[in-house]
Amino acid sequence: MAFLAVDVGGTKLAVGIVDERGTVLSKAITPTPSENVWGALEELVIGQVRDANVEIVSCGVGCGGPMSPGGEDVSPLNIPDWRAFPLRDRLRHATGLEVFIANDAQALVLGEVWCGAAQGRTDVIGMVVSTGVGGGIVSDGRLVTGRSGNGGHIGHVIVEPDGRRCACGARGCLEAHASGPSIEAITGVPATHATLQTKQLVGRQVGRALASVGALMDLDYAVIGGSVALGSGEP
């Protein structure tokens, strides 16, 4: 028994087959195009399902938000091509599987608690610092989803009062300062070439958000992933 796993990000699209122990059996990745994102994702999904040599029982998706409850419609800030996009129905039609959709960082924290760096933890935040900045929270062993399913989105905690305008419309959000595109807009160079000073500043901004959310939610553990965070190396 296995599951189709889908990761929709502003930088890359990833699709794989995962068994019930969390082992990745196969995967395919492609850069997120500026247009026809669904066409690129559909191609990956159909290829994985077609070539699978195990029974696939359902499909799980992590996607940037905001989104409607259950992911019926998704509007990732970093994918302008998708606004109120019916991702769940499109994937059901393409695969014939039951589809479950969560905010990508919520999916991250569930995965880390299940079989990753946060195993055994009951109060933890998972963060993605990449093209965007997302967050998912497990409190007392339960995922915090919130009223609309977008709970835990630490990327829109204010870390710089009167700071840069964020794609959400507010000023000073963590995402407006610590995401890859924001770092490039501020410094003039890609996040992959950020100076030590920039990495330290971004680290302090992430720390401010973590301290605030950790205190609010009584958390004791954080797991941080994403290309910007992982690309910073030891700093």
End-to-end CA distance of the chain: 41
Say if residue 30's pLDDT is above 90.
yes
Per-residue pLDDT reduced to its tens digit, 55-99: 999 999 999 888 998 889 999 988 998 999 999 999 999 999 999
In angstroms, what CA-CA distances link 197 with 3, 33, 54, 158? 42, 31, 48, 21
Instruction: State the pLDDT at residue 220.
Output: 95
Instruction: State the pLDDT at residue 70.
Output: 84
CB 148 within 8 A of CB 73: no
In terms of pLDDT, which residue wins out, 153 or 164? 164
Say if residue 233's pLDDT is above 90.
no
The 3-class SS string of 126-170 reads EEEECCCEEEEEEECCEECCCCCCCCCCHHHCECCCCCCECCCCC
CB 158 within 8 A of CB 205: no
111: confidence class by pLDDT, cuts 50, 70, 90: very high
Task: Indicate the average pLDDT of the chain.
Answer: 94
Measured CA to CA, the distance from residue 233 to residue 204 in angstroms comes to: 15
Say if residue 158's pLDDT is above 90.
yes
Token pair recorded at residue 65? 């938000």
Q: How many CA atoms lie within 13 A of 175 on its CB side?
A: 23
Q: How many CA atoms lie within 13 A of 44 on its CB side?
A: 22
Instruction: State the pLDDT at residue 235.
Output: 79
Worst-scoring range by mean pLDDT, 21-25, 68-72, 211-215?
68-72
Measured CA to CA, the distance from residue 121 to residue 143 in angstroms comes to: 12
The structure's pTM equals 0.88
Q: DSSP readout, 2-27? A: EEEEEEE-SSEEEEEEEETTS-EEEE
Residue labelled with tokens 């079989």: 115
